[in-house]
Amino acid sequence: MEKKIWVTYKNGVYDITDYVPKHPGGSKILLGAGGSIEPFWKMYAAHENPAMYALLEKFRIGNIVETSKPVDMKDPFRNDPVRHPALRPNSVKPFNAEPPGPLLVDNFITPNELFFVRNHLPVPKIDIKNYKLKLGTEGGRKEMSYSLKELKSKFPKHEVAVTIQCAGNRRIEMSEKKNVRGLSWQSTAISTAVWSGVRLSDLLKHAGIDIDKGDYSHIQFEGCDKDPEGSAYGASIPIALAQGRKNDIIIAYEMNGEEIPEDHGYPLRVIIPGVVGARQVKWLGRILVSKNESDSHWQQKDYKGFNPSVDWDTVDFSKSAAVQDLPVVSTICEPEPGTVLDEDSDEVVVKGYAFSGGGRGIIRVDVSADGGKTWRTAELLDGSDQNPYRAWAWTLWEAVVPLPENHRGKVELISKAVDSSYNVQPDSVEGIWNLRGLLNNAWHRVPVSVAK
């Protein structure tokens, strides 16, 4: 039977099978197949015009009849927001999803709807009228509290473009080596946004807290999302880290010029540039300046590295340092694995991102189409103009790489990046494998084939 491709728009169902080859945006149209086309048209606004609606109308094959689904009042996830259909979930409750690579590298700043989502718990419903951010010191007598309105009106607004990456990004490749525990992230649990809000340093000053006096060692952040036992998501950063990038740590109330969407921490989240995603606490409820690290599960019993011989019988989380700054990484986003290139291609256009933690900018990305025997240097695109010692966002890149002469239909594409400290990516996961599958920054290898 011939495969049909259909989409919906409002209550209409449309068979677009014959239109697909004519679509000016190429195969990206297939991302919307089998569901509503509306969220995609919103993202690519050129579609929102009368001619486009008229064109679509020609393909109508039927209509949807609405039936209402009962809400399960016992489901702790019943208040979770609606997500963009392009996101590829690897768990639904809690919701965890990443965008398709080719859409991700389309933009230096990731559209909010496409930004990867990593939730450990249900999205908390925040009552904004009674919401206050608490700020204090451990053992200190007075805790300050700020409404969202106060934060917006009393303090100068600052913005910073920051890439957030989950420590588990590319875990799936580690699990191919040897079993690991965690969500099977592919290579796009990473996104970039312009975050704006109040500088942490302004807030601390207002509260009369001096982190330079040596009285405290950590800054703890607590979310409003809670597990069934009532403990909140939490994390902390060392004060020594906060001192170095004081003016760039932001208590954000906007993401790309809009209120922070529910999935990404409405109404407030802390943004700590250069640091692993796990510390960038969403739905921020409390900041505590302390002598100690956060005692949350996610600070103490997770997000730490171990050598490849440590297993679940021998692991001792108390002996390992919590991940903070990220290592250098690069990933090929286009073509996607398994892509079949045209039979007469003699070169391939490869696109991706590169990123390093601690503000280290990307100085070079190398790409190979012959399993690492020969390399081309990629052209660094958006992001390459950042201060190389305060580069808080990724660098996008592109390379045109000749295919090897006797490829026999199979080609392995590889990328590897160099950061401003001349850190490089390891060639394989072998030496960096760890039982939680964290921080896989090995050379990114993407198998594609050439049509015969």
The residues assigned a catalytic role are 23, 47, 118, 166, 303
84, 218, 264, 444: which one contacts ligand MTE (CB under 6 A)?
Answer: 264
Rounded to the nearest whole angstrom, what is the least distance from the CB of residue 168 to ligand MTE in the complex?
7
277, 285, 357, 383: which one contacts Mo ion (CB under 5 A)?
Answer: 277
Site for ligand MTE in 157-216 (CB under 6 A): 164, 166
Rounded to the nearest whole angstrom, what is the least distance from the CB of residue 402 to Mo ion in the complex?
37
41, 185, 283, 353: which one contacts ligand MTE (CB under 6 A)?
Answer: 283
Region near ligand MTE per CB under 6 A, out of 243-251, 275-283, 289-297, 343-351: 275-283
Closest to ligand MTE by CB, 122 or 335: 122
Instruction: Choose the contact partner of 115 out of Mo ion, ligand MTE, none; CB within 5 to 8 A by kind.
Output: ligand MTE
| Residue partners of 420: CB distance under 8 A and separation at least 6 | 356, 360, 361, 362, 363, 388, 389, 391
Within a 13 Å sphere around the CA of 64, how many CA atoms are in the beta-carbon half? Answer: 15
Q: DSSP assignment of 147-181, as one string?
A: -HHHHHHHS--EEEEEEEE-TTTTHHHHHHHS---
| H or E element at residue 450 | strand 444-450
Identify which of 317, 313, 277, 312 has the alpha carbon closest to the alpha carbon of residue 297.
Answer: 317
Region near ligand MTE per CB under 6 A, out of 60-68, 111-119, 326-334, 441-449: 111-119
Rounded to the nearest whole angstrom, what is the least distance from the CB of residue 187 to ligand MTE in the complex?
14
The CA distance from 92 to 89, in Å, is 6
173, 225, 248, 334: which one contacts ligand MTE (CB under 6 A)?
Answer: 225
The CA distance from 442 to 329, in Å, is 7
Closest to ligand MTE by CB, 192 or 330: 192
Can you tell me which residue has the tokens 């601390």? 204
Rounded to the nearest whole angstrom, what is the least distance from the CB of residue 310 to Mo ion in the complex?
20
Residue 117 touching ligand MTE (CB under 6 A): yes
Identify which of 328, 330, 114, 295 has the alpha carbon closest to the alpha carbon of residue 218.
Answer: 295
| Residue partners of 317: CB distance under 8 A and separation at least 6 | 300, 301, 302, 304
Q: DSSP assignment of 357-385, as one string?
A: STTPPEEEEEEESSTTSS-EEPEE-TTTT
Closest to ligand MTE by CB, 126 or 209: 126
115, 266, 392, 397: which one contacts ligand MTE (CB under 6 A)?
Answer: 115
Site for ligand MTE in 119-158 (CB under 6 A): 119-121
The CA distance from 155 to 150, in Å, is 8
Region near ligand MTE per CB under 6 A, out of 98-106, 114-122, 148-156, 206-214: 114-122
Residue 31 touching ligand MTE (CB under 6 A): no
Question: What is the maximum alpha-carbon separation in the chain?
Answer: 74
Q: Which amino acid is at 148?
A: L
Rounded to the nearest whole angstrom, what is the least distance from the CB of residue 409 to ligand MTE in the complex?
38
**What residues does 222 pair with on adjacent strands?**
234, 286
Instruction: Choose the contact partner of 262 out of ligand MTE, Mo ion, none; CB within 5 to 8 A by kind.
Output: none
Identify which of 366, 446, 357 has the alpha carbon closest to the alpha carbon of residue 101.
Answer: 446
Residue 162 touching Mo ion (CB under 5 A): no
Residue 116 touching ligand MTE (CB under 6 A): yes
The CA distance from 250 to 342, in Å, is 47
Residue 218 touching ligand MTE (CB under 6 A): no
Residue 223 touching ligand MTE (CB under 6 A): yes
Region near Mo ion per CB under 5 A, out of 43-51, 116-124, 224-232, 396-404: 116-124
List of residues contacting Mo ion (CB under 5 A) = 118, 166, 277-278
List of residues contacting ligand MTE (CB under 6 A) = 115-121, 164, 166, 223, 225, 233, 263-264, 277-278, 280-283
